């Protein structure tokens, strides 16, 4: 599937590419990441191949990520208008200011104005709440975002890294108060992070939100770089965290990714990305790339076709332990429609159900 086979994001008419370019590593303020020149090359390649969805945040590389995008694309209307630029508020760039971050009206409006200035544009296509702010009533946040949309400074809104119950409250407030609704949910999702399937993903599908996974390779653990053979000799700036994460379950998934990659003539990273992109509810997966080579390699995941057997084996190896009542509800078909199939859900017969339909009490 080419990068220019666009999809609509959630319950909206916004067309986005199936992969989104994550710009968290644009700039070197954190001691790692891409130089300005490399960031510009990555942007150009992504757009050249048909990508149109770029994700950043006000706090990524302390604002430099937004500025790189603004300098290269925002100031050029012909380029800017064909791109879907998503950025986030919540993170503070002012350590001594209690209103420097969060999701209160004062903070949101100020963050939006500053992001517009760095991005050198007069509107943001998709404005994300980066995380849930437990100190601010959600109706205040939604009203402030609605004002930004009505003023023309923002086109669409979404939430990232927020509990399912709070996202649902926000979406229902929007419906009943005629405020701008959410169209997307950004969450961590990978073969090593599937607990989102308990509440967040089903909620997103029910509430009309397109899911945009971040860290689909779990910070590189699923890239194929780490194996049983080299685990003991790992040397990197994150080797302690990586070693602690390379347990038997992780190795089992990596082994299967390597096996499937050989069968489909691809790489473990591309197989892992293809699995995420194929999950129910997922619209556009966020890719991070520090080099052109990484970008090209990851984009090739769109050409990977996994069989049902491939997906089933990865599903089994990565099966998560979900919070109650997820597993309980998965078994309720046996006493709701025992022995029958409803919407493809076939339930086992139940000894609690009378065998004769005429046995009514």
d(CA 211, CA 283): 6
- Which residues neighbour 327 within 8 Å (Cβ) at sequence distance 6 or greater? none
What's the rounded Cα separation, in Å, for the pair 144 and 108? 7
* Contact between 196 and 189 (Cβ < 8 Å): yes
Structure tokens at 48: 């050249």
Q: Which residue in 6, 60, 156, 189 is the catalytic one?
A: 60
Q: Which residue has the tokens 């960031």?
A: 39
Q: How many Å apart are CA 132 and CA 243, to the nearest integer?
A: 30
Q: Is 60 in the active site?
A: yes
Local structure of 340: helix, strand or coil: coil
Closest by Cα among 180, 86, 163, 124 to 171: 180
Please check whether residue 277 is in contact with residue 311, taking contact to mean a CB–CB distance below 8 angstroms.
no
Catalytic residues: 60
């Amino acid at each position: 599937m080419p990068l220019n086979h666009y999809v609509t994001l959630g319950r909206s008419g916004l067309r986005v590419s199936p992969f989104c370019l994550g710009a968290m590593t644009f700039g070197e303020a954190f001691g790692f990441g891409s130089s300005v020149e490399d960031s510009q090359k990555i942007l150009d390649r992504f757009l050249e191949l048909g990508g149109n969805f770029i994700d950043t945040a006000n706090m990524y590389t302390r604002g430099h990520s937004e500025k790189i995008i603004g300098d290269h694309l925002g100031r050029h209307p012909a380029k800017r208008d064909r791109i879907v630029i998503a950025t986030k508020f919540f993170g503070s760039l002012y350590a001594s200011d209690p209103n420097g971050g969060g999701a209160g009206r004062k903070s949101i409006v100020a963050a939006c104005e500053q992001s517009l200035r760095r991005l050198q544009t007069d509107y943001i296509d998709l404005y994300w709440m980066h995380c849930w702010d437990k100190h601010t009533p959600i109706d205040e946040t939604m009203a402030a975002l609605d004002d930004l949309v009505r003023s023309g400074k923002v086109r669409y809104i979404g939430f990232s890294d927020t509990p399912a119950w709070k996202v649902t409250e926000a979406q229902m407030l929007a419906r009943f108060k005629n405020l701008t609704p959410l169209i997307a949910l950004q969450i961590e999702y990978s073969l090593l992070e599937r607990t989102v399937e308990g509440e967040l993903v089903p909620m997103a599908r029910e509430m009309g939100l397109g899911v945009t996974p971040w860290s689909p390779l779990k910070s590189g653990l699923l890239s194929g770089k780490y194996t049983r053979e080299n685990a003991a000799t790992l040397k990197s700036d994150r080797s302690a965290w990586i070693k602690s994460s390379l347990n038997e379950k992780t190795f089992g998934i990596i082994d299967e990714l390597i096996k499937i990659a050989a069968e489909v003539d691809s790489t473990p990273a591309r197989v892992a990305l293809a699995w995420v992109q194929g999950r129910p509810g997922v619209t556009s997966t966020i890719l991070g790339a520090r080099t052109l080579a990484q970008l090209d390699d990851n984009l090739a995941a769109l050409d990977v076709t996994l069989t049902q057997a491939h997906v089933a084996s990865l599903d089994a190896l990565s099966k998560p332990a979900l919070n109650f009542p997820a597993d309980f509800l998965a078994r309720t078909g046996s006493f709701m429609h025992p022995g029958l199939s409803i919407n493809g859900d076939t339930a086992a017969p139940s000894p609690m159900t009378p065998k004769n339909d005429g046995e009514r009490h």
